[in-house]
Amino acid sequence: MKKLNLTINSEVGKLNGVIVHTPGEELENMTPENAEKALYSDILSLSVASKEYAQFKGVLEKLVENVFEVEDLLIDILKNENIKKELIEKISKNENLEYIKNTLLNMEYKELAHTLIVGLPLKRNTLTDYLKEERYSLVPLHNLFFTRDASVSIGNEVSISKMASKVRAREAIIMEAIFKYSNFINAETFKPDYSDSSITVEGGDILIARKDILCVGMGPRTTAKGIDFIIKHFKSKNIKKHIIIQELPHSPESFIHLDMIFTFLDKTTCMIYEPVILNDRYRTIHIDNTGDSVTITDEKNLLTALENLGMKLTPMFCGGKDDIWHQEREQWHSGANFLTLAPGKIIGYSRNTHTINYLDNHGFKVIKADDIINGKIDPNNFEKLVVVIQGSELARGGGGCRCMSMPILRDEV
């Protein structure tokens, strides 16, 4: 197979390549006691979540030419013994796991790839280990199915994230190795200084508005220093961009990333959570990196900032336009988090009925995922549509369809 050249210059160009992770037994390796540490407010039912995820992936496989699984990409690179040793060394050092390094090195590459995701139970063969409260020496990656966060495509490069929580650090290490050594994807990577704890940046906060415009959320997962790192990288490569910073609330936890309150639906339409996006309590800042020097100014709000750069967007409203209760409830369950498959063709959760009804009333044909998967409906027959998947269980994990996808190739728009 010829390597795909990673190219992402918008949020809405036809999606031709994407990386996902089908949730597996790592979701079962969680208890109410450790759920909060794993960044969950509740534990999920794998049997229910798997059925819902099958709809999501089924739509992608029907409409997107190249759909890659993280575990398959990981298996492929781990066939190389040198890469295997390098990755184990990084993970062991990062998680203080020298005592199990040999166990990991002795695993066959498929077993190792699986173990790095689902975890390795603690062997209680010493008094120290016997007295530990933990169940795992290598903790499971409970959040891996949110593939958007650990890395993000910007142009022809991949920004490797510095995760805000140490429990997710291995995800970024794995994605860096995949992009560095993949036999299927060709991309350059860059990453921040991991030794500086004040730098954090995650993929859910980065939206590519246009080739020359980046929207970035600044909140609980991405810091000002994290954004400064990205700008510094652009300057070092002479990449000229406008960066629009949107300040996010630090609570409740549903505001973790910008894409939980704002996503692009096509070239002229976006989905917003109005109480934050159009509330001047939260700052919007324009960083202009297109000239000889960087200039920083405040803007009225995110939509105004984009309009001033020639991107006039018509907002759709998460939860509908009129009832704040509906808006709050549906934003909590990722009602603003849509993945755009092509201009005007999006996918999201059916449970957010007020949001879906608003889209329906504004020209988006509502189509069930199974009708796409079974070939009953051809999406090419519609200019605008929203594919709905069952998401009652997946949404409880704290993310939506954009969160569950890491695009690597889109058409230009």
Residues written for the chain: 413
DSSP 201: B
Average pLDDT taken over every residue of the chain: 94
pLDDT score of 259 more than 80 = yes
Give the whole-angstrom CA distance, residue 267 versus residue 343.
7
Closest alpha carbon to 114 in 78, 170, 71: 71
Query: pLDDT band for position 397 (50/70/90)?
Result: confident
Examine residue 102 and state whether it is found in any structural domain, yes or no: no
Q: What percentage of the chain reaches a pLDDT higher than 90?
A: 85
CA 326 to chain centre: 25
**What do you get for the CA distance between the two ends of the chain, in Å?**
26
Q: Are 242 and 289 in contact (CB under 8 A)?
A: yes
3-class secondary-structure state, position 130 = helix
Give the domain extent around 325: 4-82+140-410
Examine residue 352 and state whether it is found in any structural domain, yes or no: yes
Examine residue 118 and state whether it is found in any structural domain, yes or no: no
- Burial readout 68-85 (b: 16 or more C-beta within 10 A, e: otherwise): bebbebbbbbbeeeebbe
How many structural domains comprise the chain? 1
Tell me what pLDDT residue 317 has: 98
Examine residue 388 and state whether it is found in any structural domain, yes or no: yes
DSSP 122: P
pLDDT score of 214 more than 80 = yes
Tokens of 329: 């409830």
Closest alpha carbon to 387 in 28, 75, 45, 58: 58
Examine residue 132 and state whether it is found in any structural domain, yes or no: no
Q: Are 201 and 192 in contact (CB under 8 A)?
A: yes
Tokens of 256: 């973790």
Examine residue 114 and state whether it is found in any structural domain, yes or no: no
Torsion angle of C-alpha atoms 138, 141, 142, 144, degrees rounded to 10:
180
Tokens of 223: 């810091």
Give the whole-angstrom CA distance, residue 207 versus residue 149.
12
Examine residue 127 and state whether it is found in any structural domain, yes or no: no
Tell me what pLDDT residue 396 has: 86
Tens-digit pLDDT profile for residues 26-49: 987 766 666 555 545 567 888 999
Examine residue 89 and state whether it is found in any structural domain, yes or no: no
* Backbone φ, ψ for residue 98 (5° rounding): -55, -30
Tell me what pLDDT residue 404 has: 97
Tens-digit pLDDT profile for residues 345-368: 999 999 999 999 999 999 999 999
Tens-digit pLDDT profile for residues 59-88: 999 999 999 999 999 999 999 999 999 999
Tens-digit pLDDT profile for residues 127-161: 666 667 777 899 999 999 999 999 999 999 999 99
Tell me what pLDDT residue 134 has: 74
Question: Which of residues 122 and 314 earns the better pLDDT score?
Answer: 314
Return the number of other C-beta atoms located less than 10 Å from residue 208's C-beta.
23
Question: What is the CATH classification number for the domain harbouring 370?
Answer: 3.75.10.10
Give the whole-angstrom CA distance, residue 402 versus residue 12.
12
Tens-digit pLDDT profile for residues 272-291: 999 999 998 999 999 999 99
pLDDT score of 13 more than 90 = yes
3-class secondary-structure state, position 107 = coil
Arithmetic mean of pLDDT, 367-393: 96
Arithmetic mean of pLDDT, 303-313: 98
pLDDT score of 261 more than 70 = yes
